Each structure stands twice: as structure tokens, then as C-alpha cells.
Homo-oligomer: A and B are copies of this chain.
Amino acid sequence: MSRIGLRLHPRCLNERMPRRLRVTVWGENVHERKNPIVRQIYPNGMHSTIAEAIAEQRGFDVRTATLQEPQHGLTKSVLEETDVLVWWGHAAHGKVNDRVVERVLARVWEGMGFIALHSAHYSKPFKRLMGTTCSLTWREAGEKERLWICNPAHPIARGIDRSFEISNTEMYGEPFAIPAPDETVFISWFEGGEVFRSGCTWKRGNGKIFYFRPGHEVYPIYHHPTVRQVLRNAVRWAAADGAKWIDTCPQIPAEKAPEPLTAKGPRLHRGGEKGFR
């Protein structure tokens, strides 16, 4: 397909044309089916609303997957073809199959971005990536939340001016048992008096991780324009910059050592043998 008369950026011409950014939005899809309030706000499930928000960005191919699907919709090939995985879970964390979790983690470590939303702080993948309890305090009182940007020029905060409000939310409060984030993008103020690090980034292996707090199931938070903007910004931010990090633990025998080397002393392993894991 051509475009006559368009000034093409040299980078678009010279680099391998980047494929479209492929996003999978995973939702446990439990509240939506059980709770009429939730169903009214999110008729096709929160995951669909989130996916639609992300798909407003052209250049993104967005699909969804839910707990109820075989392998929770996260087959090896779906994950292979996912650049960024977005996760919403709450009541059914324990029902997520551990083999699927391992598959997700392996892809994150290779380079798949991972975005954990709201109650996904207690999801299996997020807790495994953090290595902490990820506990917090909380309250369901429909109070106001105001998210402040800690770094005005951060790509995840693009298009937002200083702060934004969400009228009715479920409060999350410190202490938030996470490892010190690489970057704190948002901190929230709550009407009831609490604060919370509501937008945080980490790197695990080659995977970029973003936790974003807003999102309670009985409020229309994923219809909020700024929340939707953050989701799109975060997905772009989380996509891997480079190649895959293929995990290996190879033995480099003496004859292959970069420097001349004669083996000395006793050995447990034979040359070329795989190690223990």
C-alpha cells in the first residue's frame, strides 16, 4: 500500500518495519457474570472495556482472554504473539493454573510487557514478579481519588496535566508491600485520608512491568478517559525495546573459554554436561 505525497520518516524506511503492537487483555471475568452492577457497567466484561480503550490507539492489535477459556486463553502461541499482557483479576487468583502462570512469567522474562491493574496486585504473576506479598490496605466506600504525576514528562503520563480525579473508587492505602519501584509515575490521594503509589514500574529479565491502581469492578473506572489514556500509554511503554532474552544456563567448557585455560582440580560435572537446575 502506498501513500502518495507523504513525507516518510527515514526511520520508518530503514528499520525493519515494526509489526503492529500486539496486546492481550486478560480478565478473570467472574464478577461480570455474577454481579448485576458489574454487568451493567461492563456488559462484555471489564477485559473488553479495557481492550477497547487500548485499541483506540492505532497500531495496536488487541485481543482478550479470560479465566474460563481453555488454558485461560493464554496458550503458548497466544503468549508468543503477545507483546504486552494486561491483567485484571480479583476473586479468582487462586484458580489461575500454575502452569499458565509459569508460561506467562517465562514470556515476561523474554521481553513481554506486563501490566497489572487494581486487584491484580494479588495475582499470581504479579506476586511472582515482585517477590513480595503485595499487600495493602483498602476500603470500599466510593470515595474520590486523585492521581498525581511524579514525573511530568514520563511516557506513561503523556497527555495528562499534573493530576486527574476519579469520583468513586475503592481506596488502596500504604503500606504497599512491593519492592522499591524503578520509577514511581503516580501517587494517589484519597478522600478518606490515605495515599498510595498507584503507578509503578519495574524490570524483570527483559520484561517491563507497570502496576496501575484504578479499577474497581462496581465503578465505571475503565470508561474514564484519562484512565484509558494511561492504559494506552502504558502499553506502548511496556513493549520490549529489543530482542528476546532467551533464558539459558550454559556450561562454557575450558576449551571454549575466552582465555587460554587448562582445567585444574577435581570436578563434579563432565565437560559439556548440563548443570543442575
Contacts and interface: CB of A to CB of B under 8 A. Distances in A.
A116 interface: no
B183 A203 contact: yes
Kindly state the interface size class of chain A when it binds its partner: 35 or more
- Please classify the interface of chain A as helix (H, G, I), strand (E, B), loop, or mixed, using the class held by over half of its residues: loop
A35 interface: yes
Nearest to A129: B131
Given A2-B2, A175-B150, A258 B218 contact: no
Interface in A59-108: 59, 90-91, 93
Given A179-B203, A181-B180, A218-B266, A193 B257 contact: yes
B205 A194 contact: no
Contacts of A203: 179-180, 183
Interface of A: 1-14, 17-18, 20, 31, 35, 37, 58-59, 90-91, 93, 109-111, 119, 122, 128-133, 135-143, 146, 148-155, 157-158, 163, 165, 168, 171, 173-177, 179-184, 187-195, 197, 202-206, 216-219, 237, 240-254, 257-259, 261-269, 275-277
Given A3-B13, A136-B249, 15 more contacts: A7-B17, A9-B20, A109-B132, A131-B204, A132-B205, A137-B252, A139-B253, A140-B268, A179-B202, A180-B203, A187-B195, A189-B195, A189-B258, A192-B261, A194-B258
